[in-house]
Amino acid sequence: MALLGEKDRETLAKEFSQLTEPVRLVLFTQEFECASCGTAHELLEETVSLSENLELVVYDLVKDKVKASTYDVDRVPALIVEGEKNHGIRYFGVPGGYEFSSLLEGIRAIGTGMLTLSDATK
């Protein structure tokens, strides 16, 4: 069963049509003791299916320790939103509810090249 409704999928596809730069969603999961990893993975699979500018890369926290340390990830599910470089946008847990809006804003910022963070925040 899909997590995103048809109307949501249409709205997101329209939003994502404005992306001019590729956006990579890097998800860290774990095969055991992670009740929400499957939900996070499914939600992100549905999300990236809506645009050719979105890509999902999945790593296992245990099997891919080196990659996890590169991203400074020590718990799952963990999600990094990046473009040509990593701007430090990351989420822990399932990016659902209000967090999904924040995720969409991160995707939009990276995918359009319009990061609106102040220099102090960066």
Q: Tell me, yes or no, whether 119 lies in a domain.
A: no
Q: Tell me, yes or no, whether 12 lies in a domain.
A: yes
Higher local confidence (pLDDT), 1 or 88: 88
Q: Which residues fall within 8 angstroms of residue 69, CB to CB, at 6 or more apart? A: none
* Structure-block tokens of residue 36: 């929400």
Residue 97 has a pLDDT of: 85
Q: Which residues fall within 8 angstroms of residue 83, CB to CB, at 6 or more apart? A: 21, 22, 23, 24, 110, 111, 113
Residue 72 has a pLDDT of: 94
* Structure-block tokens of residue 27: 């998800």
Domain of 60 in residue numbering reads as 6-94
- Per-residue confidence band for 29, with pLDDT thresholds at 50, 70 and 90: very high
What is this structure's pTM? 0.90
Q: Tell me, yes or no, whether 44 lies in a domain.
A: yes
Looking at the structure of the chain, the number of domains it has is 1
Residue 32 has a pLDDT of: 85
Ordered alpha helix ranges (H), 1-122:
6-16, 37-48, 65-70, 98-112
Cα–Cα distances in Å, from 106 out to 45, 61, 73, 100? 17, 23, 18, 10
Q: Tell me, yes or no, whether 114 lies in a domain.
A: no
